[in-house]
Amino acid sequence: MTDLFTVIVLTLDATLRVATPLIFCAMAGLFSERSGIIDISLEGKMLAAAFVAAATAAVTGSAWFAMLAGMTVSVALALLHGLACITYRGNHVVSGVAINILVSGLTVVLGIAWFERGGTTPPLQADARFMPLEWPLAETLGQIPLLGTIYKELLSGHNLLVYVALLIVPLSWWVLFRSRFGLRLRAVGENPQAVDTAGISVAFLRYRAVIICGLLCGLAGTYLSIAQNASFTRDMTAGQGYIALAAMIFGKWRPGTALLACLLFGLLDAVAIRLQGVPLPVVGEVPVQLIQALPYILTVILLAGFIGKAVAPKAIGMPYVKER
């Protein structure tokens, strides 16, 4: 009984760790897409930030500098996306694909040229990373059965960015649904003409949205390379940007539900590792690849309207041209 309980708590603990970059990226995508800019370059921005953060941490030895650098490069890419989509009215998807491909090549090229380790950055010391934070009395309270285990294993012992990710969600909700900026941002994604008529710049609003998107993707990348891991490895995002995109869609473009989707996808990932080769009752042994593909399959099913209906912002993907 307690064994099973411990396994569950540990799995949830792993879920939280796996879901953190998804949460950052899903919120990032939310800001971008709510303003009408399709962003499939979450993956690329996260990968770029992961590389730059790890490289900066390796050179300067400061986790904070690394985070700053990671976020800067991610915002730069977001602005490039903005330039293509907002100013030059390019195809959002094409621009996103371009950024993803560019980054996946460039991080390896620069990584090998600068560090000569086959694409990885040098391993980081503890003070150059975001290390797990022990909550007060975790060891003592951990002795208490059930609640103590939850406190020690699940709540305590994560790094700073995990908690930041969890705080970003209510913050995103507040900004998007309770602030004036958020109202305008959502309006520009639904009906840019109306926003323009009200005398508010569509382009400036959308640029601010993609900058926020860049900042959050930067945090996701920083988390991957200097908090969850101790170095950058080539293609370390491994499609998580797309899973986050799927989670955002699965959450129907809302922060709370997107968070749940991230946790669900994170749980699937955590469970997939545990279930490898374990026969389950009724269904037998489930192929680990099926569980890994489940986020994508679920998203396809959801988008097809078989579980509820996911409706994208109305003006998404459409360039805005001011009528003269």
Partner 1 sequence: MSQDNNGLPRWADVLLIPVINICLALLVSGLIIIAIGEDPIEAVQILLYGAFGYDEALGYTLYYTTNFIFTGLAVAIAFHAGLFNIGGEGQAYIGGLGVGLVMLWLGPVLPFWMLFILGIGAAALFGAAWAYVPAYLQVYRGSHIVITTIMFNFIASALMVYLMVNVLIEPGQMAPQSKQFAEETFLPFIHEIVEAFGGEMVHTPLNISFFWALICCVLLWLYIWHSRWGYELRTVGFNEKAAGYAGINYKKVVILTMCISGALAGFVGINEVQGVHHRLILNFTAGYGFTGIAVALMGRNHPVGIVLASLLFGILYQGGAELAFEVPKITREMVVAIQGLVILFSGALALMIRPAVEKLFRQFNRRPAPVAQEA
| Residue ranges in contact with partner 1 by CB under 8 A | 38, 40, 80, 83-85, 88-91, 93-95, 97-106, 108-110, 112-114, 119, 239, 242, 245-246, 249, 287, 289-290, 292-293, 296-297, 299-300, 303-306, 312
> Which CB sits closer to partner 1, 93 or 154?
93
> Which CB sits closer to partner 1, 48 or 259?
48
User: Shortest gap between Cβ of 305 and partner 1 (angstroms)?
Assistant: 5
Cβ–Cβ < 8 Å for 36, 286:
no
Distance CA 227, CA 114 (A): 22
Distance CA 199, CA 25 (A): 31
User: Shortest gap between Cβ of 182 and partner 1 (angstroms)?
Assistant: 24
Closest CA to 63 of 144, 160, 170: 160
User: Shortest gap between Cβ of 62 and partner 1 (angstroms)?
Assistant: 23
Distance CA 15, CA 154 (A): 10
User: Shortest gap between Cβ of 319 and partner 1 (angstroms)?
Assistant: 9
> Which CB sits closer to partner 1, 107 or 172?
107
> Which CB sits closer to partner 1, 93 or 200?
93
Distance CA 112, CA 152 (A): 40
> Which CB sits closer to partner 1, 94 or 194?
94
Distance CA 187, CA 313 (A): 9
> Which CB sits closer to partner 1, 26 or 162?
26
User: Shortest gap between Cβ of 169 and partner 1 (angstroms)?
Assistant: 22
Structure tokens at 78: 């977001």
User: Shortest gap between Cβ of 301 and partner 1 (angstroms)?
Assistant: 9
Angle made by CA atoms 130, 131, 135, in degrees to the nearest 5: 120
Bridge pairing between strands 279-280 and 132-133: unpaired
Backbone angles phi, psi at 164, to 5 degrees: -60, -45
